[in-house]
Chain A
Amino acid sequence: MKECCEAEPYKLLLHLQLSPENPQPSTEMQTSNAVTHHTTNQPHHHSKQNGPHFRIAPKPAQAVGSAPPIIMSTSGLKKSYRKAQVTIPVLRDVDFSVSAGQITAIAGQSGSGKTTLLHLLATLDSPDQGEIHLHGKRIDNLPTQARDRLRNETLGMIFQFYHLLPELTTLENVLTPVMIGQSVMKYWKNWRVNLERAKTLLDLVGLSHRLEHKPRELSGGEMQRAAIARSLIRSPQLLLADEPTGNLDRQTGNEILDILRTLNEQENLTIVMVTHDLEIARQADRLVQLVEGRVEEAGTVAGSRQPDVVAKSE
């Protein structure tokens, strides 16, 4: 516990947040995502912002110990880059699975192929070998159009460098996936609903007062919040995050993680998060370590526990 507080301020943060309304002890947290603690989730150090209000129904309680269904799995993924006779093998043989409702962290050194793997999961790139299944259906060999639709409707993505479109306002950025997914006619017909949803999400991430601002007028943390709102607008089943805190200071990063965690807990959102920060990785429900293009399962990380309990066992 002591160690935790020193090494993982993020944990401390979570505890502090709990305090007034729900003074539940932190140990309760290990009962995992099944229990909802946070009715309000107000980042204490960001008092000027409205914290995320989760008006959406909390996820149903899950019996402890019952294995959550697998939402995504990979088998024998291989990927290498070729350039002028030089072949750089990045992923040699990646097998792992993502359980529904869990935060899966993918950790590894820089250059270990985390981003490459995430791109493969997001169907942005195709593996040289191996398969990726989503809900038991193979997705890596889908035709381009189907992949586009999949990315638009089923997967949400956030990036280290936020990747907002600089010409659009925060609100428009959040609405972009809707614009992409819906025809002009449908978009206008659903305009009110879309706008309402975008505002709710921006409210959730605490950006509702910056709707008309362009990305360059926002701070990194704010941009990442907008990016999270954007990734959620199509109600994805799986959120893929590539070092969402990699470019932020620890405190801001923790806020972002906080949001993600809350989403995971309250909306049962499945998250795959790439990070090179083991501190963060350990807080995940499950840790996947990439070493030399292969998955090194939990336990190999020095001092870590069973990956499934890493995050909640402290």
Chain B
Amino acid sequence: MYKLILSWRYLRTRYIALASIISVTLGVATMIVVNSVMAGFSHEMHQRLHGILSDLVIESMGLDGIYDHEILQAEVRDILGDELKGLTTVVHIPAMLSYKVRGEYVPHQINLIGVDAKTHAEVSDFSRFLLHPKNRQKLSFALHENGYDTHDVESGREVARRPQLKDAGWVYRRHRAVHERHQKQSQQTRQSESQNPALFENPERHETSSDTTADIPENPYLAASTTEESFFDPLKEQHAGVILGISIASVRHRSTQGQVEDYFLCLPGDDVNISFPTAGTPPDFGTGQFTVVDFYESKMNEYDSTFAFVPLHQLQKLRGMIDPATGLAAVTSIQIKLHEGTNLQAACERLRKRFPAREFPYRIRTWQEMQGPLLAAVRMETVILNLLLFMIIAVAGFGILATFFMIVVEKTRDIGILKSLGAPGRGVMSIFLSYGLSLGAVGSGVGMVLGLLFVHFINQIATGLEWVSGREVFDPTVYYFQEIPTIINPWTVSWIVAGAVAIAMTASVMPALRAAKLHPVEALRYE
């Protein structure tokens, strides 16, 4: 009883101890904030990565790809059984993309992915990241009239202004085609006037006319070299569609008013050139013309700046992956989606067992393995940060230790009095232990509340900081997230709080022991 009263009184009369606990409070708050933000980031990242990548991927090691993938698919279906949710075939190759900006070609190194529009949605959230609402519902490689989102639909707020997208689509394409035709005509007149036949043929015109996508010859190996002069009217026609990662086509910058804007170097409706290695030995170069039909914005910069999606069949044709004899088309990988809650690793092991790398030229990986280094880096960062912050709390623990020792010394005579009144050492000890416990509880409780409040209002706080400092704290030109993503994990929070309380307790154990061991006579004689 006296223990409670006394520790309560000590608590109320010794605010200096509260000061020592402030470091615990701050440590706890910081840890909660950091963990929530890290969890938010990594969750966002995981989700995106996972959404972009399917659960399991069977890749062919060679450029030629897998011809007998139908059989492979059947086997996979057999092995995975009920766990299988979806499966799609993909051609995934490195490529070079270029588009013209003010008469000059801008090259980009990309990952060209031929996707099966019908089944691709089964294995990944691919279409979720597209800018046209209709494409998000049902993927199509046909250019839309217009109606591309001019703001970030996913976050619901405007990350960056994209006024250029307002008329993108057929509206823009027609406009451009008419404009170019006019230009060409005036150029032609000028040229015929200047009687210079050497420059008669416009290079751009030549390119568009040498388009091969509309009509593919039987022999795929001829695809690149075909120079069919079928008339292609950019006013009414499009090449095969390509969905570009948004960063391939745009640059993000800040206008003078401080607003973030995406400036597009090419828009849906523009034509781009893509060069890629063809199948066959040795690999050759193939080139194709594609019309940008949409953008892909996963907010993972790595993907947004390298991914370009084209129709699978188109790519197979262009690369010469269709066996002219059988009509079978090869793919470079099979992407597999499993039902939620399935043990990915186990499923992957089963596939590996069936297709050992020694005998089959396949690489079978889970999405985590594919993104191993990135995920590991994030995990590592979280661990290190937690370690460091826990050190801070531990340092605070030493502060508590010192303060408590001071209090025990200050209370020496009172301890003697209590002992002379028959209080056992245990009782005296528990005064200081419960004192430490309540201080720890108060400190980490306040820290928890502060941390949670901070997390809850983190974006407002960021805005406030921006206003105060005049600098963007969470710069959308750097991060693709509109807001700082946070996830509060109750378990993490309870662990942090429990850990802090434990540290405060531990710090009070030594002074409490000392108090318990004080010799009553010495304590009474203490001045």
Contact = CB atoms under 8 A, between A and B. Distances in A.
Contacts of A144: 424-425
Nearest to B7: A167
Interface of A: 119, 122, 124-125, 144-145, 148-153, 157, 159, 163-168, 172, 176-177, 179-184, 187, 230
Interface in B1-35: 1-2, 4-6, 9-10, 13
B409 interface: no
A125 B4 contact: no
B62 interface: no
Contact of A151 (B9, B413, B422, B427): B422
A182 B1 contact: yes
Given A159-B524, A163-B524, A168 B9 contact: yes
A157 B4 contact: no
Given A144-B424, A144-B425, A124 B6 contact: no
29 contacts: A119-B520, A119-B524, A124-B520, A124-B521, A125-B520, A125-B521, A144-B424, A145-B424, A148-B424, A151-B419, A151-B421, A151-B422, A152-B423, A157-B420, A159-B524, A163-B416, A163-B417, A165-B417, A166-B414, A167-B414, A168-B5, A168-B9, A176-B2, A176-B421, A179-B1, A180-B418, A180-B422, A180-B427, A183-B1
Contacts of B6: 165, 167-168
Interface string B440-484: 000000000000000000000000000000000000000000000
Interface string B302-313: 000000000000
B8 to A, nearest CB: 9
Nearest to B423: A180
Given A124-B524, A163-B524, A180 B9 contact: no
A172 B422 contact: no
A295 to B, nearest CB: 21
A152 B413 CA distance: 18
Contacts of A164: 417
Which 3 residue pairs across A and B have the least CB separation, nearest first?
A152-B422, A167-B9, A179-B1
B422 A177 contact: yes
Nearest to A164: B417
Given A124-B520, A165-B414, A167-B13, A153 B422 contact: yes
Interface residues on B, range: 20 to 34
Contacts of A183: 1
A210 to B, nearest CB: 18
Nearest to B522: A125
Nearest to A149: B422
Contacts of B427: 180
A184 B414 CA distance: 21
Contacts of B2: 176, 179-180
A157 B420 CA distance: 8
* Residues of B contacting A: mostly: helix
A181 B9 contact: no
A151 B425 CA distance: 13
Contacts of A187: 1
Nearest to A233: B421
A164 B6 CA distance: 13
Contacts of B418: 165, 176, 180
A157 B9 contact: no
A253 B150 CA distance: 93
A105 to B, nearest CB: 21
Most buried by A among B6, B413, B421: B421
A157 B524 CA distance: 12
A179 B417 contact: no
B96 to A, nearest CB: 80
A111 B520 CA distance: 19
A35 B10 CA distance: 48
A184 B420 contact: no
A122 B521 CA distance: 10
B422 A163 contact: no
Given A124-B419, A150-B422, A177-B422, 9 more contacts: A125-B519, A151-B422, A163-B416, A166-B414, A167-B10, A180-B1, A180-B421, A183-B1, A184-B4
A177 B425 CA distance: 15
A183 B426 CA distance: 13
Contacts of B5: 168, 172, 179
B434 to A, nearest CB: 12
Nearest to B416: A163
A165 B3 CA distance: 13
B148 to A, nearest CB: 71
B254 to A, nearest CB: 60
A159 B416 CA distance: 12
Contacts of B520: 119, 124-125
A177 B18 CA distance: 29
B406 to A, nearest CB: 16
A6 B239 CA distance: 128
Nearest to A162: B417
B468 to A, nearest CB: 43
A5 to B, nearest CB: 37
B515 to A, nearest CB: 14
A184 B427 CA distance: 12
Nearest to A184: B1
A157 B6 CA distance: 20
A184 B430 CA distance: 14
Contacts of A152: 421-423
A167 B411 CA distance: 11
Contacts of A153: 422
Contacts of B419: 124, 148, 151
A151 B423 CA distance: 9
Nearest to A227: B417
Contacts of B521: 119, 124-125
B102 to A, nearest CB: 82
A230 B421 CA distance: 9
Nearest to A172: B5
Contacts of A163: 413, 416-417, 420, 524
Contacts of A122: 420
Interface string B497-521: 0000000000000000000000111
Interface in B382-436: 413-414, 416-425, 427
A123 B10 CA distance: 28
B188 to A, nearest CB: 101
A166 B412 CA distance: 12
A122 B420 CA distance: 8
Contacts of A148: 419, 422-424
A181 B424 CA distance: 10
A159 B417 CA distance: 10
A179 B8 CA distance: 15
B55 to A, nearest CB: 58
Contacts of B13: 167
Contacts of B413: 163
A149 B416 CA distance: 15
